[in-house]
C-alpha cells in the first residue's frame, strides 16, 4: 500500500515537472513573436524607440504621442482600406462561389476532360504567381481595352486586382472543395434527386449545408489572402487611389526622405485590427474547422 502511494506521488510529481517543462518551452518559443507585437504596439504610440523603450526627442524615456495615428484623419487611408476590403470580399465571394461549383462538378459529374481539368488545376496551383506577372499584365491591358468591362476589371483598377487574385487562388479552392464534396455520401444526393429536387437544388439545399465548415475555412483563408495581398496590387496599380493597405504602407517608405517607422508601425497595427477582432470572436469555430469538419447531424 505504502509503496503504491509512493509511486503515485512520484508519478504525480514527474507529471507536474513534465507539464511545466512543456509550458516553459512553449513560452520560450513564442517570446520572439510576443516581443515583436509588443514593439509594434509601443512604437505606434511613441516618437521613437530604442529596443522596447519609447524615447522622446532628447533621448529620455517617455515621449508618448498620438502623432503616428494622425493618418486616420486622412481620407486616403479610408480609401485604401475600402480597397483592401473590396479585394478581400471579392476573394471570399469569387473563390467561394466558383470553387464550390467547380468542386461539385469535379467531384460528382463525369464529363469529357474531367481528369485533364483536375491535373491542370493542380499544375496551376504549383505555379508561383511571380512568374505570371508579365503575362497577367498583358491580359489586364487587353481587358482594359474592352468597353465597359475595362473600367471595372482592367489594368489599374480594384476590380482587375480582385480578378487576378481570385483566379490565382482558384486552383487551391477547387481542390479543397472537391475534397469536401468527395466526403459526402452519394446516397444523400440520390435521395434528394428521388425526393424531387433538381440538380441545382440538391447542390444548394442538401450538399452545401453539409460542407459549411469547409466553406467557412476557405472563406477565412481567402479573406486573409485578399486583405494582406501585396504583390498583385503593387504590380497592377499605379498611385495610391486604387492601392490597398499593404501597398499604401510601402508608399510611406519614401526613398528621398527619412522613413517614419513609427508611423508605418501604426498603419500596420491598423491593418491588423479587423483580423484580430475577427479571430477574437471566431477562434472557437476556427478550431472546430481545423479539428475536422462535420460530425453527423450537426
Residues that bind other proteins (CB under 8 A): 185, 187-188, 190-198, 201, 206, 209-210, 294-298
Judged by beta carbon, residue 169 or residue 189, the one nearer other proteins is 189
Judged by beta carbon, residue 192 or residue 265, the one nearer other proteins is 192
Spatial contact of 166 and 172, defined as CB atoms under 8 Å apart: no
Dig out the grid coordinates for 35 from the structure.
516581443
- What CA–CA distance (Å, rounded) separates 211 from 104? 11
Mapped onto helix, strand or coil, the DSSP state of residue 59 is coil
Judged by beta carbon, residue 32 or residue 296, the one nearer other proteins is 296
Q: What does R_g of the chain's alpha carbons equal in angstroms?
A: 26
Residue linked to cell 529596443? 51
CB of 183 to other proteins, least distance (A): 13
Judged by beta carbon, residue 187 or residue 255, the one nearer other proteins is 187
CB of 112 to other proteins, least distance (A): 14
CB of 207 to other proteins, least distance (A): 10
Contacts of 241 (CB under 8 A, 6+ apart): 76, 79
CB of 296 to other proteins, least distance (A): 5
A 10 A CB-CB count for 90 gives 19
Judged by beta carbon, residue 160 or residue 213, the one nearer other proteins is 213
Dig out the grid coordinates for 107 from the structure.
467531384
CB of 92 to other proteins, least distance (A): 22
Amino acid at each position: 500500500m505504502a509503496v503504491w502511494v509512493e509511486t503515485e506521488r512520484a508519478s504525480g510529481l514527474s507529471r507536474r515537472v513534465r507539464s511545466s517543462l512543456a509550458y516553459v518551452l512553449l513560452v520560450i518559443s513564442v517570446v520572439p513573436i510576443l516581443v515583436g507585437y509588443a514593439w509594434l504596439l509601443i512604437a505606434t504610440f511613441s516618437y521613437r524607440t530604442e529596443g522596447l523603450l519609447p524615447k522622446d526627442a532628447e533621448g529620455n524615456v517617455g515621449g508618448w504621442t498620438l502623432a503616428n495615428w494622425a493618418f486616420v484623419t486622412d481620407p486616403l487611408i479610408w480609401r485604401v482600406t475600402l480597397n483592401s476590403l473590396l479585394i478581400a470580399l471579392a476573394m471570399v465571394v469569387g473563390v467561394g462561389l466558383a470553387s464550390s461549383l467547380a468542386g461539385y462538378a469535379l467531384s460528382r459529374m463525369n464529363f469529357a476532360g474531367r481528369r485533364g481539368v483536375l491535373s491542370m488545376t493542380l499544375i496551376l496551383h504549383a505555379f508561383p504567381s511571380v512568374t505570371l506577372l508579365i503575362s497577367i499584365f498583358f491580359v489586364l491591358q487587353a481587358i482594359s481595352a474592352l468597353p465597359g468591362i475595362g473600367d471595372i476589371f482592367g489594368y489599374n483598377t480594384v476590380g482587375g486586382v480582385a480578378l487576378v487574385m481570385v483566379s490565382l487562388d482558384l486552383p487551391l479552392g477547387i481542390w479543397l472543395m472537391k475534397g469536401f464534396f468527395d466526403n459526402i455520401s452519394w446516397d444523400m444526393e440520390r435521395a434528394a434527386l428521388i425526393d424531387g429536387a433538381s440538380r441545382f437544388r440538391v447542390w444548394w439545399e442538401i450538399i452545401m449545408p453539409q460542407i459549411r465548415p469547409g466553406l467557412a475555412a476557405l472563406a477565412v483563408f481567402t479573406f486573409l489572402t485578399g486583405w494582406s495581398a501585396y504583390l498583385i496590387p503593387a504590380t497592377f496599380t499605379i498611385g495610391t487611389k486604387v492601392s490597398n493597405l499593404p501597398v499604401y504602407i510601402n508608399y510611406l517608405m519614401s526613398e528621398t526622405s527619412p522613413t517614419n517607422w513609427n508611423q508605418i508601425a501604426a498603419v500596420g497595427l491598423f491593418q491588423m485590427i479587423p483580423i484580430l477582432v475577427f479571430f477574437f470572436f471566431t477562434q472557437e469555430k476556427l478550431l472546430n474547422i481545423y479539428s475536422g469538419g462535420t460530425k453527423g447531424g450537426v
